[in-house]
Structure 1
């Protein structure tokens, strides 16, 4: 029941939402954690020898089970992340557990005591990037295994039997230890700092005869060696992990945005030969561009203005009048070409300005090509 409750607590912690994105560790980090320890019942085999009146007589072996109750664990680790999810760390760990019952002793009794283990392990872990599965979640699950060496120390653990007898277990022994790790890490919003929740199962083996049992009864004092089978600890841990390499990831590549198409011009210039109102090939090309542009920009009206330079095929005062007519003929030529290019005649207004408003100021009676023009203005 206690194991199921602790597993549920760890699951709920792993599912708690956080507001930051997941992080893959690159470089050195430190990890500190602590939590609840649940140690499985241990089987003990005690080989007793009777000590009475100075003579030793071997007695029968006894078998019993020591049941553990509440406990806690704490650890500190220094590690290195390779940036691809793989991490390696060296860990120091301390475990404590109460002992509250002893079964299969033949006579009922009450047992009180505790034990503790401490030592180091080397762990290899792997962070799982959920984005490779199409999951954009602010959490990084991880799994790992470890191996090392732990010392197991039994504090004086007394059993007082209902018939008045008493026994005590004690001693320290070291042995090979291994563990499996499943957990998840959550970013806190502080660069490099993560909160972790995890479950660990630690197993440990012992050397035979490493612990001592002393029993007091009516026949005297009995001492002997105690052998334990493997020890298993189930641990539910909350921790903090800090990675020293906190350089922010490169910003995501910005999506390519095509530049907007250039806005068509709203004014076009068509140039004419001297004393001519007919369109050249280049002039027709410009008129076609203006007609095409009128369909791509919001146009309500097209203004066509004709001009001449201040020279004239007619001399004297009639020259200005002649040029006024020539500018109107040029405007009409452009209008006719616009209509052929699909522009409605009703959308076109023409004006002739003769020698007025020159594009390039000149002296009197000067042939200036840039002043011999028609302006197409899109409104």
Structure 2
């Protein structure tokens, strides 16, 4: 019943709302904890006398000792490798009351306690639930450990109804091992500090014949030996853990973003006054821009195409011929300006298209400024 109650309490702690996401440890940390220690009943094997009346009994006798409430405490120093794996050295202390012994040949009452202390080396692994798509503010962990513990009985006294007394005591050491299941919860605002909840099962083996048993009865004092079988502790622990190296790794340097080079126009428009082929001040600026651009883009030739609107100083067929010549003169003016701006003459091809290919469609004999133009095209 007590084991079931303790397990329910541990489950409640594990599913309770938590404060923040626990982090993977990198570097040194310390861990302190304590809690409830529940020890399974142990079987004792006596030799040299009967535990009830003190008479010699070569066959020996057996009894089962039942443990009552107890507590545990530990301190650990460890190192986290940053990938979830941790290694730690732990010192611990366990205490348990003993209040029952059966069977005995004569009715009696038993009271006493025992304690164990020693050290273990633990290997633990923090489970990052985010890698499984589970985003909850808790980091569970599992672990195993092995080491050495000393077991001391304080002693255990059994008083029988016939007045006889038996006492078991002594200290013995043996190999110990444990399994660990727990979870960590970061404390907001305190980097590196976390609350932990754990369940531990500790097993321990003992050497034969190391504990002594003494009986008093009407015939005097009788001494013998007692052996205990393996000891199992079930522990439910609340702790605090502090990781010293809590600074997050520096973020990777931001990639250097090179702004794209401004796109250089490959077509430039130069506009003219009506019936003129002379460049205006604004027209010269545009020609200079085209000349400069030709040095920044891959250019095999420069086309200079002249145009007019469909109005003319001389109407009729003579006007179309006139506009054709005017478009060529406009193209020649732009070519001459390009040469003055450093463009080789051999790289320039000129064409005159007269009234063809207007930018803005119009009715006949219409003065349209946008159609009176020269197009500079970088090929």
Measured against the shorter chain, the TM-score band is 0.5 to 0.7
Within 1, Cα distance between the matches of 2:101 and 2:360?
108
C-alpha displacement of 1:60: 4.0
1:163 aligns with 2:162: yes
Question: Structure 2 vs 1, CA of residues 351 and 119 (structure 1 numbering), >3 Å: closer, same or farther?
Answer: same
- Report deviation, 1:250: 4.8
Contact 2:33–2:75 (CA under 8 A) maintained in structure 1: yes
- What is the aligned partner in structure 1 of residue 137 from structure 2? 138
Q: Secondary structure at the match of 1:12?
A: helix
Corresponding residue number in structure 1 for 2:297: none
Query: 2:182·2:198 contact (CA, 8 Å) conserved in 1?
Result: yes
CA distance in 2, matches of 1:169, 1:57: 17
Aligned-pair CA distance for 1:136: 1.6
Residue 127 of structure 1 corresponds to 126
CA distance in 2, matches of 1:92, 1:175: 15
TM-score, normalised to structure 1, is 0.67
The alignment yields a C-alpha RMSD, in angstroms, of: 3.8
Q: Matched residue of 1:209: which SS?
A: coil
Contact 2:44 2:226 in 1 (8 A): yes
Tell which deviates more after alignment, 65-74 or 132-141.
Answer: 132-141
Deviations 1:234-256 (A, max 9, x none): 000000000111112455999xx
Give 1:1-379 correspondences, 5 Å limit.
1-49=1-49, 59-189=58-188, 190-250=190-250, 271-276=270-275, 337=359
Q: 1:12 to 1:58 in 2, by over 3 A?
A: closer
| 1:31-77 residue CA offsets vs partner (Å, 9 max, x unmatched) | 00000000000000011249xxxxx9664411001000000000000
C-alpha separation in 2, matches of 1:182 and 1:204: 18
Q: Unaligned 5+ residue runs, structure 2?
A: 263-267, 278-282, 287-312, 314-354, 374-379
Name the count of aligned residue pairs. 288
Deviation at 1:201, TM superposition (A): 0.3
1:4 positional shift:
1.1
Contact 2:96–2:115, Cα closer than 8 Å, also in 1 = yes
Shift in CA distance, 276/217, structure 1 to aligned 2, threshold 3 Å: farther
Residue 20 of structure 1 deviates from its aligned partner by: 1.7
Tell me, what secondary structure is at the counterpart of 2:11?
Answer: helix
Per the TM alignment, residue 277 of structure 1 is displaced from its structure 2 partner at its CA by 8.7
Q: How far off its partner does 1:207 sit?
A: 0.6
Q: 1:170-204 deviations in whole A, cap 9, x for unaligned? A: 10001100000010111112111111000000000
Partner of residue 266, structure 1 = none
SS in 2 for 1:131: helix
